[in-house]
Structure 1
Amino acid sequence: MSVVSSQFKRSLFRPCIDLHDGEVKQIVGGTLSDTDTAALKTNFVASHSSAYYAELYKKHNLEGGHVIKLGEGNERAAKEALQTWPGHLQVGGGITHQNCKEWIGAGASKVIVTSFLFSGGEFSLERLESISAIVGKDKLVVDVSCRRRGNKWLVAMNKWQKITSMEVCKESLDLLAEYCSEFLIHAADVEGLCQGIDEELVEKLGEWVTIPTTYAGGAKSVEDLKTVDRLSHGKVDLTFGSSLDIFGGTLVKFEELVQYNEDAMKQ
């Protein structure tokens, strides 16, 4: 059974594998840069391979996890993860209309797209229609990861470095949902900081989304899952990164999240 909150009953833990320079890492999202590599802040570099984490998620039936390629040099590691559990992990990072089918063929359950949809920072409906037609709506996830600007959230592309003109709001999400089956939303301003989730954004997503949605950014406690469940009315799932013990964190135990999901699925 797919452990995805598509029926909007309970928010669940969704796993991730973030790849940078071919290694599994946890990075402070706001420090990624193509031009200033010295600014990069890395919280964790794994001694295990991407396949190790894929096998771990497979063992515990943690469906719907995402493999994110942060820049170049991650193709092999991404494919190793996908081939460890074919048809059960999503992949994102550099996905376009030209390679989306290749990644499905490599074992991805779905492909995740952001930057391709924004030519010069402007949203292109034509590009969204194109990739959705090629890969199929059911196999497409749109990543609307964002940064806060005033009282709004604007989609951020290119490893969250470039702010686009698209606001994350009900209107934009309704439009995107016509062409994809799921959303992935990193709150880039709090990603990797372990200082708490953006509760206001989670609450708004609970009001806006009509398809399965995963939020990432700042989670530091199992209690955050309960908070996300309450604020979003079970419509939004939650990813843990730097706070998690399997990624070198000390705040959250992986076993606790597995148990949470098991209990949630019984209710």
Structure 2
Amino acid sequence: MRPQVVAHRGASHEIAEHTLNAYLEAMGTGAGGLECDVRLTADGHLVCVHDRDLRRTAATRGLVSTMDLAELNELDFASWKNPWADLDDEAEAADEDDGRGVLTLRKLLETVADYDRRIEVAIETKHPTRYGGLVEKRLVDMLRDFGWDQAGAPVRIMSFSYTALQRVERLAPEIQLVQLFDKPNHWPVLKRMIGRDWIVGPGIKMLRQHPKIRESLGRNSRDVHVWTVNKEKDLDLCLDLGVTAVISDKPRFMLDLLDTRFGASE
């Protein structure tokens, strides 16, 4: 079975993660899905940012949860990936609106909704957070705005927090859920606790190091979505396991490898 390729924070190996350009690149190269992390701003907006603070991706010590959307939009979330770009005389001049500000989840979902083919979005809520369950409530409210809180919608919600996923299940029982985990001792407990239709999302490093977990997942009837798969040998491990999605920083590379094994996808 050919797994879906999901672009981890967009085509984030080449382009700064969680920027609109990274997601446009991933969609343009044929990724079937996009992955994003969401956090809540001080004024209640869901934004696509992984870290709780902004030192790595925006060169400031501020916290996402203490800043308003307008403040975040004043920051540059793209330059850290290529800090020498301004010295490139042959580079095209950046537009005033070049997507360097923070990407809101609403903007990403609007982009996906307007695209000319179905793109699925895997949305990870980050915990712990000062806003607790408000993150999931705001997220479900937004999905309802798009009509994407029903079965068959092109979205799924992921989290390492079992409690967070339970909240989503109560708010919108038909939304697809993915229980993430990266500790082998968590799986024996999780497989007894999580919902019957939940997807499991193990980390590739754990799968490499713990063959017994791979065997257990292989015997389980659940769909498996693995992160973050960037190497050919790791893709082969996933194919042997029969996973249904691989989440990768290098979606084009993964698609090319899959084309050699399954033939080019249409």
> If the TM-score is normalised by the length of the shorter chain, which range does it land in?
0.5 to 0.7
2:8 touches 2:35 (CA, 8 Å); kept in 1? yes
The count of corresponding residues between Structure 1 and Structure 2 is: 188
Match 1:182 to one of 194, 199, 204: 199
Match 2:227 to one of 208, 213, 216: 216
1:80 aligns with 2:107: yes
Distance 1:47 1:66 in 2: 14
Structure 2 vs 1, CA of residues 264 and 227 (structure 1 numbering), >3 Å: closer, same or farther? farther
Which residue in 2 is equivalent to 1:40? none
1:89 aligns with 2:125: no
1:71 touches 1:93 (CA, 8 Å); kept in 2? no
> Alpha-carbon deviation of 1:101?
1.0
TM-score in terms of structure 2 length? 0.54
**Partner SS state of residue 85, structure 1:** helix
Q: Given residue 218 of structure 2, which amino acid in structure 1 is its aligned partner? A: G
2:229 touches 2:246 (CA, 8 Å); kept in 1? no
% identical aligned pairs: 7
Distance 1:114 1:172 in 2: 11
Distance 1:114 1:48 in 2: 20
Which residue in 2 is equivalent to 1:173? 191
> Alpha-carbon deviation of 1:134?
1.1
2:30 touches 2:255 (CA, 8 Å); kept in 1? no
More helix by share: 2
> Alpha-carbon deviation of 1:61?
4.6
1:18 aligns with 2:9: yes
Q: Given residue 71 of structure 1, which amino acid in structure 2 is its aligned partner? A: D
Which residue in 1 is equivalent to 2:236? 226
Distance 2:228 2:215 in 1: 14
> Alpha-carbon deviation of 1:145?
1.6
1:12 touches 1:225 (CA, 8 Å); kept in 2? no
1:50 touches 1:81 (CA, 8 Å); kept in 2? no
More strand by share: 1
For the aligned residue pairs, the C-alpha RMSD in angstroms reads 3.9
**Partner SS state of residue 190, structure 2:** helix
Distance 2:172 2:122 in 1: 13
**Partner SS state of residue 157, structure 2:** strand
2:2 touches 2:244 (CA, 8 Å); kept in 1? yes
| Structure index of larger Rg | 2
> Alpha-carbon deviation of 1:77?
4.3
TM-score in terms of structure 1 length? 0.54
**Structure 1: 5+ residue stretches without partners:** 1-9, 26-43, 119-126, 148-152, 155-166, 247-252
Which residue in 1 is equivalent to 2:83? none
